[in-house]
Amino acid sequence: MYGSTREKPAPVRGAGQHLLVVVGEPDAEELLSTTLELAGYRTGVAGTGAEALARLAERRFDLVVLDAALPDMESLVREGPVLAHRPSVLLLTDYDSLDRLVPELGLGERDYVTKPYRMAELLARVQVLLRGASPGRPRDAALGYRDLVLDDTRCEARRGARTLDLTPAEYRLLRHLLVNAHRVLSKEQIGRYVWGDFRGDNAIEQLVSRLRRKVDREEPVLIHTRRGFGYWLGSAETAA
């Protein structure tokens, strides 16, 4: 459920950033904290929402890895906003619980991985949150292009008045395309952002095709192919 120690070790990605691991199961806590430390991060641990709040009040953490199934998540919702520093948060959640993720969670920018997760994917999500996909954008702002809007606080995407029913992989792909609007992204770049590794041309093509059917029902078409190079989002007249 929580990954496998038999996976190929991930290359070191961290630069000593402080991460707080908040999970309720000791085995999962040990596996996560050990993996993150081997990847170049420093970690603290907490087993409950209340304990996490106490740790966050004691010191500044750069990111929180948080199990969304903790029984006292409500304490983070009630008391989180009073924290002096709002770290980014990576939520660990079951796929069928995505619609119950709490938008009011009093932390900073967020992302999620669904269980059972792979360590390579989790490390990729941590890396993206820490470096910030769009440094000049306020954390609570929505990403958008024309009538296409992606709201990270609600994990929701809309085209005009229409809400897009996206899978987690489609949501990540759309986010990557929006952040890099008018820039061609290779299949390898897309695969590593969406899944943490490269899945092969066919997997990327199918993912892009599914997203196009949901996004480009209206004109103008926003997702384009640059044959032999990759995909990009924007007006048909421009690509970097």
Model confidence at 209: pLDDT above 90 = yes
Task: Give residue 75's pLDDT band: very low, low, confident or very high (50, 70, 90).
Answer: low
pLDDT in tens, 50-65: 888 888 878 888 899 9
For 64, the token pair is 């929180």
pLDDT at 212: 95
Question: What is the DSSP secondary structure assignment for residue 94, as one 8-state letter?
Answer: E
- CA separation for the pair 17, 28 (Å, rounded): 20
Q: What is the pLDDT of residues 82-91, one digit of tens each?
A: 556 678 888 8
Maximal CA-CA distance, the chain: 54
Q: What is the pLDDT of residue 101?
A: 54
What single letter denotes the amino acid at residue 7? Answer: E
Write down the pLDDT at residue 9: 41
Side chain identity, residue 194? V
Domains along the sequence of the chain with CATH: 18-131 (3.40.50.2300), 143-233 (1.10.10.10)
β 42-46/18-22 pair status: parallel
Q: Are strands 88-94 and 63-67 parallel, antiparallel or unpaired?
A: parallel
**In this predicted model, what pLDDT tens digit does every residue of 12-31 receive, in sequence order?**
467 788 999 999 888 888 89
